Each structure stands twice: as structure tokens, then as C-alpha cells.
Chain A
Amino acid sequence: MHLSVALDGAGWHPAAWREPRARPAELFTGRYWTDVIAEAERGLLDFVTIEDGFTLQSTRTERVAGRLDAVLIAARAAPLTRHIGLIPTVVVTHTEPFHISKAIATLDYVSNGRAGVRVRVSASPDEAAHFGRRVFPRIALADRDDPAARQLVTGLFDEAADYVEVIRRLWDSWEDDAEIRDVASGRFVDRGKLHYIDFSGDYFSVKGPSITPRPPQGQPVVAALAHGDPAYALIGSVADIGFVTPGDAGHAAQIVAGIRAVSRAHDPILLGDLVVFLGPSVAAAADRKARLDELAGYVYTSDATVFTGTPAQLASLLIEWQQAGLSGFRLRPGGIPGDLEAITRELVPELQRRGAFRTSYQAGTLRGRLGLGRPASRYAAGDKQPGDKQPGDKQLSGSN
């Protein structure tokens, strides 16, 4: 089973920052994030994701407001950790694929092959106003009968697919052995192994090659969260990992089948998202959740299933959902460090006892841990097998 955690501030519950062991005054420090990610590594987890966005989470005085750039948090933690994968969130709607491609490649270098990126689209008019380059209408995006909403969302996901295509081509734009340092001829690189990507789409054009050589993993891991179409199609076409939000095992099976049906060239790794509130007994966990709800002034719910119970119960549920077709999970700790430590120090040993989770890290990259192997550059001549497709291959033009 693959197991990861989604990190966001003091935890996912809006009142989590008021828990006795929470560190709300340190949320904007390197030490906090390093400690939290090191705790996830202590639990042998596959990776952490780090939430991000360009809007203030809340304008209310009783909530956490403000967040640091997720790529830079990951980079800050990378030299002080050794095994855990680092998957920051990037908003593709407002950023440059060229910059993000080299940022994630560099995260892969500073972490020795543990980098990924979770791509997210943004239809928020407020977020767009922070950039002033596009104007999005204020509409209910979830309203599937509204043609304007459907058109906007479809466009954003089409753009996201192009974006991932571009960052992947840029990662491949230097072949692995492009740096030759040939003193006799005075050449540092073999420029025949540097490739223009010549991408041209509806939303942007990018020439290439990257300024950063091919990263250690070749292709860092690309992930996305999805609750339905067209995000399922994005996962099926360009992502390595999809985070999904089933309500039960049957629903999990249905989602897995749905995404497999729209997967074009590869089978993405599908992980179930759950928000978790853990305690030594069902009552203790429920009491804690209730106390947090009381502090927040409402009953917290989520796009993902909210689990309240013991680590042993959670272990049983995860194994059941895994049998329904999921490859593992991304747990969103209700509070940090409480629920994070319950995952790393109680849930993980429980899963290990049941033979469902690793008992040590093996050397290697994040891709290796996920069973993805290291692909050759799409531009490398001759050593690619027909049918050996990778995410993002569909529009490969083989330019240059």
C-alpha cells in the first residue's frame, strides 16, 4: 500500500491551530515545516503533498490566514530529509510552465530524486485579479447545467493538460548524457542532445530547451486531485498519480473503473483521500472532532470522507478500500502534530503488523518507490520501444 499525507498549515480542521500541541505561531518558519515533514519520514510514508494557492484562505480573525510558497517549503525541507517524496502544489492557471518545470527539476536535484508536483487549476475570480491578466466570471462552477461554467472549467483543464505536456517535454529536453566536458574540442555539452520542445497550443507557446538539465528521476512525478470529469480525464491523460475522494469501497471501485476507462496511454496510481481524526477509542476521536467543531462554530465536513476513529479501524478501512482497487491513500491530518503522529506512530505499525505496509525505506527515487521506473528522454534517439508510452506522449511531435 502506498501511504502519504497532505500537509496544510496546522491541519485540515479550521480550529486545528488551537489544539494544545499545535504550533500556530511557527507556521511561517522553516523549522516547523522541516519538523512536520521529518515526522512523515519517520513513518516511512511515500511522500507528502503541500497545499498552495494564491488567495488568502480566510478573512476571519479566528482562522489561520497566509501560506508560504509550497515549492520553496519543499526545497527548504529537502536537504534535511533523505527518503520522503516531496510533492508541492502548483496553480497552473497563473504560472509559467517554463519556471515551474525548472523549479521542480531543481527540487529533484536538491532532494536527490524525490520531487513531484501536484497541479491545480483555479477558476477563482479573486485569484485571477491578483495577476490581472485574465478575468473569470463569478459563477457556480459545480453547476453542470450552466454552459458558461462548463466551458470555463473545460478550458482550464485543457490548459492544465498542455501545461503538464510542456513541463514534461522540458524535463526531457536535455538528454541524460548531454553534458560531455570534452576538453579536446572545447565543448561542455553535446548540443545534439539538447532539444527545442517547440510547443504551440491554444494557451501558450514554449520554445525550450530547459535551462536546467534532465532531473535525477528523468520525469518527476505529476499528481492531481479529482472529483469527477474533466479532472478524471486529466489524470488519465497526463498524471502519474490521481487523488480521488470515494465515500465507500463501492464508490472507490466505481471511480477506479471510471478513470481507467479514460486513461489513454498508462494506468495512473490512484490514491484515496481521507481527512482523519484519530484517537485511542472511537469516543475519544469523536470527542476531539466535536470539540474542534465547537471551537470552529460549525460541523467540519470536506470534499473527502472524514474518518473519525482508532488507527486500527482506519487500517481496516484502508485495506478494504485498497481491495476495491485503490493503490493507497493520501491522508489529510485533521490536526498537526496530533493526527500526523497518530498516522506515523500508530496507523503505520498497525498496517505493518497486517503485512500491508513497508517496514523500511529502500534506497532509490520517488518514482522507484511508486514502481514507475526511470523513463528515457522522449528525444533520445533509438532507445525507445514502440508502445513504451509515457504520460504526455500523445502530442509528441518529435521536434528538432
Chain B
Amino acid sequence: MTKQIHLAAHFPGVNNTTVWSDPRSGSHIEFSSFAHLARTAERAKFDFLFLAEGLRLREQSGQIYDLDVVGRPDTFTVLAALAAVTDRLGLAGTINSTFNEPYEVARQFASLDHLSGGRAAWNVVTSWDAFTGENFRRGGFLPQDARYDRARTFLQTTWELFDSWDGDEIIADKASGVFLTRPKPGRFAHSDAHFEISGQFNVPRSPQGRPVIFQAGDSEEGREFAASSADAIFSRHGKLAEGQGFYADVKGRLAKYGRTPDQLLILPAATFVLGDTDAQAAELAAEVRRQQVSGPTAIAFLEQLWNRDLSGYDPDGPLPDVDPDPGEHTIARGRASVRMYRDPLATAAQWRAKAAAQQLSIRELIIEVTGRQTFVGSPATIAGAINDLVQADASDGFILVPHITPGGLDEFADTVVPLLQERGVFRSDYKGSTLREHLGLDPSTPRHRLGSVTETI
């Protein structure tokens, strides 16, 4: 059977994928930029818009990292405002489970779901670093190996809060004076190693019951967490073979939780460069890569692997003779990517070999080895590539990351989406009003009605 593709828009992030030096690049803070991208996504009938989060400005060599876009607004506040200027588009945001409390987060998501008529989604992330913790009352107390445990119990606790109202309590009958069908709604009591809370939740059950749950981690625990609890995975495996491997792995874990493969969507993040022809798109893509990797950015990337100060090196010159510092990583803080270099010496050796073989400067090498675009080509080429990957079970769709704010999705909406609609693999209009309906997910049911209130997730 032909699968229907799911598409989402990622507001350009605080990293070097986002090109701020382009004359078309607008504000990353003003609401008009968010409204523009959301309206484009809704015009194109996308499933949802996504906002990432970072709770401390990134640093490198002890100073605030100044080469990428810096700064962003508050996720919840922007999503609530976007609910006013869109009608159907899902509104998804990353909210950290380490630097928040379940009662407050559950309340914010339930409120967002009410205020958007059932369009809220939560990308649950965990963190443990004391660096970010310095901005919070709670500090950075969490050991790394406890982070998924806390995330799991955090999510479980919020579910108990979302489910504390059945949804039929409020009748608000003026004539009889009965507002609630029964007294004391929203009662809850939760106790575990991380949270000991009890009382009454003060937001009635929202249109979706609970928000759509996203999970983004790629580790073994992360995959298991997603299989047990998430509605969708924000994956980083967008290519055919690795995508199929990830897809099969995670969907294969669902059965033991009593879930079916259609109850967890796999949505990789994907970048794209469109041209009138494939050749023109390839030229544009090379230009975008040069914009994304300036000389200073190339040196900064190299420092993240080398773990030492390389500011004296010429980005248009050869790689350093010195080896990476294998000690504790101290150069870059507040970013996830540095942990990807698990064996810096081996990676450096590969990079040197590649630079030598192709006679690449530092900047040329970094352009080659980091962040190439996922889709490059004409609208027909990109529409075909997206559809092929989805039909081959490499994903259920994509979260598209434009590199220009806020107009970077406009061309995609105007040229690629109609081709997917013509093929009958993407909706021509919304059929439902909630994000769960867009994603083909079942309505959520209060867990105690399923007889599993104490079951762990």
C-alpha cells in the first residue's frame, strides 16, 4: 500500500545550518518570522511546525560562541502566539525534562493544547550538564546515567496529570448551577525516586488529552524510551540504508509494549536546496555550504575535534600538524555535537588523509565532512527522493530544516508539495483538526480507563 508522507517545518536553528549572512535572512526573534514560517507550512498542509530549545548560550574556549545565530525566544510563548495565526498546523516544541517540574510542564502543554484546539506536541529531551544547570534553581545535579530514568518518570508523571481529568467533568449548566459533574476532579498522587507530588491538577482535559510526544535521542536507552512512550521520533537518519536500519530497529521494539508499527512515526530532520534543474541546485548547494562554513566557523569546528585552541591557523591553509588533545573535552560547551567524536584521534587521521588526497584547505575539508544537504535537486527530483525514502520504509516523512529565516520554506511549499499531492502521497487538505488526526494517531484515552494506571512506561 502506498504510504502517506508526513511533513513538518523546523524553525531554523541555533547552529551553522542556518545562514544568517544571506541578504534574505530575517530576524530569528521577531514574531513575524515565526508567523511567516507557520503560515507557509499551513498553506502547504504540513503536519506541524517545530521549535528547538537550548537553555544556555553555547560557549567555545570559555567565551560565548558568536559565529552562528545566537538567541531564541521562549518555546511555549511563541507556540501559543502561533495558535492565534494558524488553524490546523500542529505546534511542536522541545521542552527539557531536567530543568522543569512535571506539574508546571503538564499545565503548560495542556494549556497550549486548549488554546490551539488540540495541536500541541512535546519533544521530550533530557540533559544533565551542570553548565546549563547554572541557569536554574535545580542546578546540574543529574548524573548522566540517571537522565533517561528521570525523563521516563517525568513523562510518566505528566501523563498521570493529563489523565487526572476524564474529560466529561465540566457541564457548566447555568440553569441547574452544576459546573462539575463530580467534586474534586484532577486528583493525583505520584511517588518515585525523582518526584513525590500529590494534589489536584487544575487544567481540565485538553482536546488531545495529552500532547503528541516526540523523542529525539539516538542511544539504546533513547530508542527504548521512544518505543515505550513516544508518538514520533525526531531522527537523524535520513539516508536510505541507515534510515531503513533505524526504522526497522525502532518499529521492531514496539510489540513488547503492546504497540503497533503505525503508533510510532519516524521523522528524520532533512535539509534541502532547490533549483530549477538538478545542475543549478548542485551549484546553489555548494554556495550554501560556503555560507554555512565561513573561515572562522571552519576553525571553530576543527577546534571541537582537536579539543585545543587553533585560532592561529589559516582556514585557507592546511590542517594542523599537532594531534587532538585526547583529554576531557573542555573547548566547547552547551552543544550536543561534540560528543559525536567518540575517537578524536581516529577521526583526525581520516580527515588528514582526506585533505591530503583531495588537497583540501581547512575550510574546504570542513565543508566536505560536516552537514551536507539531505536533498539537492529540482522540485521533481526532491519530490521523488522524499517519496522513495518513505515508500522504502526509511522514514514516515521528514522534518524540513530551511537554511534561511523566514522564507526558506516558501519555494518548497510552492513547487515540491504540489508534486507530492499530484502523486497522491501527501494530503491536499487537512482532514482533521488535531495534530493526532494529522499524524494518524489514535485519540489518547485516560490510562486508568485502560486499567493500567500503575503500569510503568
Partner-B contacts on A (CB < 8 A): 15, 17-18, 20, 22, 24-25, 28-30, 33-34, 53-57, 59-69, 71-73, 75-80, 94-99, 102-103, 105-107, 109-110, 112, 126-127, 129-133, 174, 179, 181, 183, 185-191, 194, 203-209, 211-213, 295
Chain B residues near A127: list those with CB within 8 A. Answer: 199
Partner-A contacts on B (CB < 8 A): 20-21, 29-31, 35, 54-57, 63-64, 66-74, 76-78, 80-81, 83-85, 99-101, 103-104, 107-108, 110-112, 114-117, 134-139, 170, 172, 174, 177-186, 195-204, 206, 294-297
A188 pairs with B111, CB closer than 8 A: no
Q: Which residue of B lies closest to A207 (CB)?
A: B134
Given contacts A17-B172, A54-B202, A295-B177, A98 and B135 within 8 Å (CB-CB): yes
Q: With the chains together, A131 CA to B196 CA distance in Å?
A: 8
A65 pairs with B202, CB closer than 8 A: yes
Pick from A30, A54, A71: contact of B76, CB under 8 Å? A71
Pick from A22, A29, A65, A75: contact of B180, CB under 8 Å? A65
Q: Given contact pairs A71-B77, A174-B71, enumerate 20 new A-B contacts (beta carbons under 8 Å).
A: A20-B174, A24-B174, A28-B206, A61-B179, A66-B204, A67-B202, A72-B77, A72-B80, A79-B85, A95-B104, A98-B135, A102-B77, A110-B31, A130-B103, A186-B21, A190-B66, A194-B64, A206-B136, A212-B72, A213-B71
Smallest CB–CB gap between B227 and chain A, Å? 29
Pick from A18, A77, A187, A206: contact of B84, CB under 8 Å? A77
Q: With the chains together, A265 CA to B297 CA distance in Å?
A: 45
A129 pairs with B77, CB closer than 8 A: no
B29 pairs with A78, CB closer than 8 A: no
Chain A residues near B31: list those with CB within 8 A. Answer: 78-79, 109-110, 112
Q: With the chains together, A66 CA to B199 CA distance in Å?
A: 13
B57 pairs with A194, CB closer than 8 A: yes
Q: Which residue of A lies closest to B299 (CB)?
A: A186
Given contacts A18-B177, A206-B135, A187 and B67 within 8 Å (CB-CB): yes
Q: With the chains together, A17 CA to B176 CA distance in Å?
A: 12
Pick from A28, A78, A102, A133: contact of B81, CB under 8 Å? A78
Given contacts A61-B180, A76-B80, A94-B104, A213 and B172 within 8 Å (CB-CB): no
Smallest CB–CB gap between B122 and chain A, Å? 14
Q: Which residue of A lies closest to B68 (CB)?
A: A188
B114 pairs with A106, CB closer than 8 A: no
Pick from B66, B84, B116: contact of A34, CB under 8 Å? B84
Q: Which residue of A lies closest to B104 (CB)?
A: A95
Most buried by B among A63, A78, A97, A132: A132
Chain B residues near A97: list those with CB within 8 A. Answer: 137
A212 pairs with B29, CB closer than 8 A: yes
Given contacts A64-B179, A205-B134, A208-B135, A131 and B71 within 8 Å (CB-CB): no
- Main DSSP-derived SS at the B contact region: loop
Q: With the chains together, A101 CA to B186 CA distance in Å?
A: 29
The 3 closest A-B pairs by CB, nearest first: A24-B172, A75-B80, A207-B134
A211 pairs with B170, CB closer than 8 A: no
A179 pairs with B71, CB closer than 8 A: yes
Chain A residues near B110: list those with CB within 8 A. Answer: 68
Q: Which residue of B lies closest to A64 (CB)?
A: B179
Given contacts A24-B179, A54-B202, A179-B71, A75 and B77 within 8 Å (CB-CB): yes
B81 pairs with A55, CB closer than 8 A: no
Given contacts A188-B70, A211-B72, A54 and B63 within 8 Å (CB-CB): no
Pick from A69, A102, A203: contact of B111, CB under 8 Å? A69
Pick from A30, A56, A62, A107: contact of B83, CB under 8 Å? A30
Q: Which residue of B lies closest to A126 (CB)?
A: B199
Smallest CB–CB gap between A258 and chain B, Å? 32
Q: With the chains together, A61 CA to B169 CA distance in Å?
A: 9
8 chain-A/chain-B pairs, Cβ below 8 angstroms:
A25-B170, A59-B183, A59-B200, A72-B80, A106-B73, A107-B77, A126-B199, A132-B197
Q: With the chains together, A304 CA to B329 CA distance in Å?
A: 59
B100 pairs with A96, CB closer than 8 A: yes
Smallest CB–CB gap between A154 and chain B, Å? 20
A68 pairs with B114, CB closer than 8 A: yes
Chain A residues near B114: list those with CB within 8 A. Answer: 28-30, 68
Chain A residues near B172: list those with CB within 8 A. Answer: 17, 24-25
Given contacts A56-B200, A211-B57, A211-B72, A72 and B111 within 8 Å (CB-CB): yes
A189 pairs with B70, CB closer than 8 A: yes
Chain B residues near A187: list those with CB within 8 A. Answer: 66-67, 296
Chain B residues near A18: list those with CB within 8 A. Answer: 174, 177
Most buried by B among A61, A183, A205, A209: A61
Chain A residues near B195: list those with CB within 8 A. Answer: 132
Smallest CB–CB gap between A29 and chain B, Å? 7
Chain B residues near A205: list those with CB within 8 A. Answer: 134, 139
Q: With the chains together, A79 CA to B316 CA distance in Å?
A: 47
Chain A residues near B72: list those with CB within 8 A. Answer: 211-212
Most buried by A among B68, B116, B180: B180
B77 pairs with A110, CB closer than 8 A: yes
Chain B residues near A96: list those with CB within 8 A. Answer: 99-100, 136-138
Given contacts A61-B180, A130-B103, A67 and B55 within 8 Å (CB-CB): no
Given contacts A66-B204, A174-B71, A191 and B66 within 8 Å (CB-CB): yes
B170 pairs with A66, CB closer than 8 A: yes
A129 pairs with B197, CB closer than 8 A: yes
Given contacts A56-B185, A186-B296, A67 and B203 within 8 Å (CB-CB): yes
Chain B residues near A181: list those with CB within 8 A. Answer: 20-21
